[in-house]
Structure 1
Amino acid sequence: MPEYLDDAQKQETRELWEGIFSEDSRSFVDYYYSEKMKDNRVLAIREDGVIQAMLHQNPYLLAVGKWRWRVDYLVGVATRPQKRHQGYMRRLLTAMMAEMRTEKMPFCFLMPASEAIYLPFGFTFIFRQPKWKLRSPDSFSGGLARKQVLKRGEDGRDYNSPGRSGYLGELARWMNQWLAARYQVYAVRDESYLKRLLLELESEQGTFDVLMDRHGIAGMQAFWGIEEVEQRLLYAGEQYAEEEKDSGEPAIMARIITPEVFVKAIHLRGEVREDERVIRLYLEDPLIPENHGLWIWHLNHEMSWMERADVCITEGIDDCGKPGEKQSVEKCAWDLRVEIAEFTAWLFGYSVPAAVGEWDRVVEPLKGVFLDEVV
Structure 2
Amino acid sequence: MEIRQLQREEFDAAIELSQYAFQLTMSPEDLEKLKKKFKPEQTWGIFDGLELNAKLTLLPLQVYIHGQVFKMGGIAGVATWPEKRRGGMVSRLLTHALKEMKSAGQSLSFLHPFSFAFYRKFGWETYIEYQKYVIPIDKFPVKHKAEGIVNRDIKDIFELNQVYQAYASRYNGTLVRDQEWWQERILNKNYRTAVYYSEAGTPQGYALYKIEDKQLNCDELVYENETARLALWTYFANHDSMITQGKFIYMPADDNLPFLLDDPRIQQETVPYFMGRIVDAAAFVEKYPFSAIGQETRLTLKLTDHYAPWNEGIWTLTINPEGKGCLQRVDTSNSDENIIAADLNLGIQSLTTLMLGYQRADDLNKWGRIEGSRESVSALKRVIPIKQTFLLDFF
TM-score range, shorter chain: 0.7 to 0.9
Change (3 A) 1:368 1:6: farther
- Post-superposition CA distance 1:97-145 (Å, at most 9, x none): 1222333320110011111220110110011123478983774876753
Q: Which residue of 2 aligns with 1:336?
A: 344
Q: Which residue of 2 aligns with 1:254?
A: 276
Change (3 A) 1:53 1:31: same
Post-superposition offset of 1:290: 1.2
Q: Which residue of 2 aligns with 1:350?
A: 358
RMSD value over aligned CA atoms? 3.2
Change (3 A) 1:197 1:210: farther
TM-score (norm 2): 0.75
Q: Which runs of 5+ in 1 are unaligned?
A: 150-158, 160-166, 313-325
TM-score (norm 1): 0.78
Q: Which residue of 2 aligns with 1:154?
A: none
Q: Which residue of 2 aligns with 1:280?
A: 300
Q: Which residue of 2 aligns with 1:170?
A: 159
Is 1:207 equivalent to 2:191 in the alignment? yes
Post-superposition offset of 1:328: 4.8
Q: Which residue of 2 aligns with 1:129?
A: 130
Change (3 A) 1:190 1:335: same
Post-superposition offset of 1:21: 1.7
Is 1:234 equivalent to 2:201 in the alignment? no
- Post-superposition CA distance 1:275-325 (Å, at most 9, x none): x1111111011222211101111112332111111249xxxxxxxxxxxxx
CA contact (8 A) 1:44 1:55 kept: yes
CA contact (8 A) 1:347 1:366 kept: no
Identical columns (%): 22
Amino acid at match of 1:234: L
Change (3 A) 1:279 1:370: same
CA contact (8 A) 1:31 1:199 kept: no
Amino acid at match of 1:147: R
Q: Secondary structure at the match of 1:369?
A: coil
Post-superposition offset of 1:261: 1.1
What CA distance in whole angstroms lies between the structure 2 residues aligned with 1:31 and 1:72? 24
Change (3 A) 1:62 1:31: farther
Within 5 Å, which residues of 2 pair with 1:148-187? 148-149=153-154, 167-180=156-169, 182-187=170-175
Post-superposition offset of 1:190: 3.6
Q: Which residue of 2 aligns with 1:4?
A: 5
What CA distance in whole angstroms lies between the structure 1 residues aligned with 2:180 and 2:58? 18
What CA distance in whole angstroms lies between the structure 1 residues aligned with 2:179 and 2:95? 34
Say which of 219, 222, 238 aligns to 2:208.
Answer: 222
Q: Which runs of 5+ in 2 are unaligned?
A: 234-255, 259-266, 372-376
Say which of 347, 369, 374 aligns to 2:389.
Answer: 369
What CA distance in whole angstroms lies between the structure 2 residues aligned with 1:61 and 1:39? 20
What CA distance in whole angstroms lies between the structure 2 residues aligned with 1:40 and 1:210? 37
Q: Which residue of 2 aligns with 1:321?
A: none
What CA distance in whole angstroms lies between the structure 2 residues aligned with 1:221 and 1:47? 47
CA contact (8 A) 1:259 1:291 kept: yes
Amino acid at match of 2:168: L
What CA distance in whole angstroms lies between the structure 2 residues aligned with 1:129 and 1:343? 22
Amino acid at match of 2:342: W
Amino acid at match of 1:305: C
CA contact (8 A) 1:224 1:230 kept: yes
Q: Which residue of 2 aligns with 1:316?
A: none
Post-superposition offset of 1:39: 7.9
Worse-superposed segment, 92-101 or 218-227: 218-227
Change (3 A) 1:116 1:13: same
